[in-house]
Amino acid sequence: MSYRDNIFGNLFEPETRLSLYQATRLGVRHLNRRNPLLCQPEQPTELTVTTSGPEPFERVSCWFQTEAGHESTFDLTPGTVEWDNTLGDYIRTWHGILPPQPNNTMLRYRVGAQMGRTQTWVYADNQTTQAEQATQFACWVTEAKPPDWSRHAIVYHIFVDRFYPGDGKPWKTPDTLSGFYGGTLRGITQKLDYIQNLGFNVIWLSPIFPSPSHHGYDATDYFSIEPRLGTLEDFQELLREAHTRQMRVLLDFVANHCSNQHPAFLAAQTDSHSPMCDWFTWQDWPKEYATYFGVREMPEFNLRRAPARQYLLESARFWLEMGVDGFRLDYAYGPSHDFWAEFQRTCRQTRPDCWTFGEIIHTPETQRSYSGTMDGALDFLLCRALRETFGHRNWSPARFEAFLSQHEVFFPAWFSQPAFLDNHDMNRFLFIAQEDPAKLKLAALALFTLAGPPIVYYGTEVGVTQERPIHQNSFGIFEEARLPMKWGSEQNTDLRETFRQLIALRRAYPFLATAPRRLLHLDEQTLAYARQSADGLVIAAFNLAPTSRRMFLPGISLMHDALHNGRTWAEQQGLWLELPAQSGAFLV
């Protein structure tokens, strides 16, 4: 049985695609469309805006200012008009130029369109008519790009409560999956050798701040450690031990919302005159307030106001100064680009080689628009392609190749796109693959031979799976994909060895992170591509068929399979490769 990956639904389900499309076309839309995407020092930046819908817009303007200057304005120039058949309306495109700025300038701006001959302005992208409520855009003028080490990152994603309690400590046995299983920071420190021996050089921790939940995405304090997980000293020991092993440590950072038990929210909900009220957005104080997807236990921060914004920036600075190497940014689509631009500047000024990437489950255009406000975004699009091709088997090799060939050129080469097969919010890969390790091995081969820094969710490498799908009776029970880590004899050692081999090969051929990809072979059930640079050549080959298959690779000299699955022999025009059923080759 194939379970629908609902986490991707808003992008790909027919019933939601149209509304998503309309939301990015109707009215006045800027959508952070800039050229270049990364604002360069002393270089102009072109803005693109579109207008459509029942209101006549005869003028589009931009108001901008630096932190040290007064507000200035300019009008955008009307451009082409095109008919959009899906929208059923005309769309006009406008262009304007933000003037050059010196390095390290924070440039903030808003865009509005004047309705006909009235004095009413409609502001992009939230369509408000109030200037003070307009969507605030920003670009940090800088030449800074993701740190070099991030290109060669191989990340182990740890859900702290479910990883390891510590030597001599048994797992707890909560009544429900949402209970506490007892994983600790000290337990992670004690398992660093396991992680390092597999070849990982980065660990990403699920939220570790104080929180009433097992997952921690609802913090009550951003400057300390959840006592269930350990102490600040335990975390500092983990940092030291990881860095001693030349491993980096990333934290999961939630800027969109906190817990309703956070002292700031409790104070705001108790006293309407409390300065903490500015931290949140109230529809009807004290009972109605903006929340994360309607979850009342997770009130959203009001990041248009300085107090909550400064609190989060100070927290990021605090952890970076302690030695954290970067952040995975939870629900990055929630806070504005304006906030993230300032967050990125704060991080870079505190630790110039830190790495930041966002969780942005949205269209490629939206993901790309965060260029310059963070180093990149988790590659949910590739994740879906890997799951559909190798897990669900809904995609043919041809469709997978068609996706890759477009996806690889859509984003800037420097935009970081960490890649993964599964995570804590989706069904485990082995579960959607009907518990077939061969399918997981093929997907892992693709993961480790494509350009994005690979991420492995704890336990995927040893066969951790789940009993039931996440989506049951219209409810999302994400805990199904967060079962405790397997240790000792419970581990699938053959699967673990495959991951160890692939990680070792990834590290042995670092050009896999940057070299162009070239298609060598494609048919209904087999695929092969080359990754080649001046430093060498690697070929990844895949046989998805239930029987052994041969493929001919033109122009390739004799190579061998480092995974010991395939048999090769050379002819004058190229190389033959024979692969057993449902297996792959890493040719070197």
Write out the catalytic residue numbers. Answer: 330, 359
Is 57:38 a contact under the CB 8 Å cutoff?
no
Q: Which DSSP category does 573 fall into?
A: T
How far, in Å, CA of 565 to CA of 438, rounded? 12
Q: Judge if the upstream peptide bond of residue 125 is cis by omega within 30 degrees of 0.
A: yes
How far, in Å, CA of 15 to CA of 466, rounded? 29
DSSP 85-150: TTTTEEEEEEEEEEPP--TT-EEEEEEEEEETTSS-EEEETT--S-GGGSPPEEEE-----S-HHH
- Close Cβ partners of 73 (under 8 Å, ≥ 6 residues apart): 61, 62, 63, 64
Instruction: Indicate the residue type of 358.
Output: G
CA distance from start to end of the chain: 37
* Distance set, CA 551 to CA 393, 401, 405, 522 (Å): 20, 16, 21, 9
Phi, psi of 68 (to 5 degrees): -105, -5
- Close Cβ partners of 562 (under 8 Å, ≥ 6 residues apart): 501, 505, 586, 587, 588
Among 357, 319, 323, which Cα is nearest to 151's? Answer: 357
Q: Is the dihedral of CA 514, 515, 516, 520 positive or negative?
A: negative
